[in-house]
Amino acid sequence: MAYYHDLYRLNTTITGWHVRVKVLRVFRVHVRPRVESLGLILVDEKGEKVEAFIEESYSKYYLEFIQEDRWYTVMKFSVLPNDGPNKLTMSLFKIGFLRDTIVKDCDPVHECAYASFTPFCALLSETYDRRFLVELVGYVHNAGELTHVDKDSVDLSGYRFPFVLKDKEGYYVKC
């Protein structure tokens, strides 16, 4: 039986980590024009979440291989401080894929609840930890029109789509 490290144990002083994780999110990160790396949000069976990033040179391969809601084992990766201005998880560290990182499919495992949703009222009253991105659950109550707000009409990042979310308690959040 294989042994896997829990994500909460990750730190920069040790190498040789072997983790079993579920991919919650896969997203592209625009590093600079025409250069994209890949970002992942991973969770282990105990509910600990960690951000992972894959440099541009490996991202095309992993974008085809790694899928959301699937379990994988990951070995031979770097562990770095999670010290950016926008932290996607509360973990102190994040994972960096290397040239020799090994990722393998594995069978799903029993998982604890890994969602840590922020109540709308905490968002509205600003009583949440602003150092981390929040997770919300609600439904789209109202949607605006897609508008271009950038001076450069070719720049696709200048589009905005306003909408309003509503939660089950009746609170609204404008996005």
Long-range interactions of 30-39: CB distance < 8 A, separation 24+: 30/157, 31/56, 38/62, 38/63, 39/88
C-beta separation of 123 from 136 below 8 A? yes
* Confidence (pLDDT) at 74: 96
* Confidence (pLDDT) at 96: 94
Provide the residue-wise pLDDT of the chain in tens; the chain has 175 residues: 678 999 999 999 988 999 999 998 898 887 777 778 899 999 998 889 999 999 888 888 888 889 988 999 999 999 999 987 778 888 999 999 999 999 999 988 876 656 666 777 777 788 877 766 677 767 677 888 878 777 765 655 677 778 888 877 788 888 8
Sequence-distant (≥ 6) Cβ neighbours of residue 68 within 8 angstroms: 23, 24, 25, 26
In whole angstroms, give the CA distance from residue 166 to residue 169: 8
Q: Which parts of 64-135 are beta strand (E)?
A: 71-81, 93-105
- In angstroms, the Cα distances linking 69 to 1, 46, 50, 53, 65 are 23, 15, 15, 17, 13
Domain 7-105, architecture per CATH? Beta Barrel (2.40)
**Which amino acid is residue 10, in one-letter code?**
L
Give φ, ψ of 2 to 5 degrees: -75, 150
Domain boundaries, the chain: 7-105, 120-174
- For the entire predicted model, the pTM comes to 0.71
Name the β-bridge partners of 29. Answer: 37
